[in-house]
Amino acid sequence: VREEMSQLMNEAERRHHIATRYQNEASEMRLGILEQQAERRHLEVVAKLERNISSIEVRAADRGKYLVAELQSLQEQNMAMQRDHAANISIAEAIQAHRLQVTYTNEMAEFARTNQEFLSEEFAQNLTIFRKEVQQPLNQKEHPVSPRYVHIPDEVTLKDILLRQIRKSVRMKYDLEIHDRAKEETKEHTSQFLVQSIKDLLTRERMRKNRDRIAKSHGEKYGAPAPAKPDSTRPPVAGRAR
């Protein structure tokens, strides 16, 4: 599971780098187009001003009067238009940079939200399995017993309650056979062995559901998931005292 999670993280990071590179290339392309358009507009404006200046020079030559004042006015207008043009280019670059920053922030927020939902879903499933397999059955047995006894039940009584409950589970059949065949003084014949067997069963169930969910997620993204392997007979599990 760790290897699969590591592969998923590496794949997500690789895709993120690819998407970032594509966005940067697209941004550079758009900035290049904007610069070309701005340069073309600038040349058109300069050409228009030059034509106006030329026509004014012709009229001024005919008039012979107020030529210097008109030329200075046109130069001031030309400088003002160049300043406005430079300001427009700066504004366009700032807007483009802001859009790129917003896009990157949204992608990172979506990535964090997806991982948080994945971890929350895994925790909720594990908690549901634990309550279903252990807590609820034990609580159901505890309610009719507690009013009848003033003292706390001894270990033998608790073990009998646990045995009556887990004998209903088909998945615990192998561990129950080991427990029944074991001698009285061995660790396989203790309640700790049964509790550890339940924990091992919950761990295997959680890992199986995690693998199924990851395979399903892969199938939705990249194609049909691989067929799930049938549950094989698990090897003997040695009990451990708590």
Residue-wise pLDDT for 25-53, tens only, equals: 888 888 888 888 888 888 898 888 888 88
The pTM (predicted TM-score) of the whole model is: 0.31
Helix H or strand E encompassing 202: helix 191-222
* DSSP structure class, residue 188: G
Q: Give yes or no for a contact between 84 and 22, defined as CB atoms under 8 angstroms apart.
A: no
pLDDT digits (tens, 9 = 90+) for 107-138: 767 766 666 655 566 666 666 666 666 655 55
Mapping DSSP onto H, E and C, the string for 8-49 reads HHHHHHHHHHHHHHHHHHHHHHHHHHHHHHHHHHHHHHHHHH
What lies within 8 Å, CB to CB, of 181 at 6+ separation is 188
Q: Give yes or no for a contact between 107 and 16, defined as CB atoms under 8 angstroms apart.
A: yes
